[in-house]
Structure 1
């Protein structure tokens, strides 16, 4: 999967109903206190910015889409915990 543009990443985040902080926490990106109180993720802000050269690697974006149930081809499926391992 190719790296998303900032606009594509933002659209996926909004479709998932997540704030930048929620999305950053989901993907283990750093979150820090903001200048106006609350929390912010400068890393996520940069990834969504059209003017910043950083972008999210394609495999990480694929994982974000899987975790937010937006991947076009695949879906995560929970483990069957009723069957003991190895059987």
Structure 2
């Protein structure tokens, strides 16, 4: 069995998640689609992600799991320590 290194992946607060999303230049719908969260038709037309809205809300107790947030940061090239690298050694983009 390979040696596993534990990593600390804290869950983000809503404002931290929103800041990461906006830094990536993504709408809530685009971020939700990237991470596999549900997207549905909005009441005023267009699309929305109630799940992503809740994750960014300061008043909602739901938070994004820390490892999922770490993956979001990796996929949007914002992780402070790591980057995605393909097994052939090339950087994923």
Question: What TM-score results when the alignment is normalised by the length of structure 1?
Answer: 0.90
Q: How far apart are residue 23 of structure 1 and its match? A: 0.1
- Point out where structure 1 has 5 or more consecutive residues left out of the alignment: 81-87
What residue in structure 1 maps to residue 82 of structure 2? 74
Match of 1:44 in 2: 52
Moved over 2 A (4+): none
1:31 is aligned to 2:39: yes
CA–CA distance in 1 between the matches of 2:10 and 2:80? 13
Q: Deviations over 1:39-78 (max 9, x none)?
A: 0000000000000000001000000000000000000013
Unaligned ranges ≥5, structure 2: 1-8, 89-93
Aligned length: 81
TM-score (normalizing by structure 2): 0.84
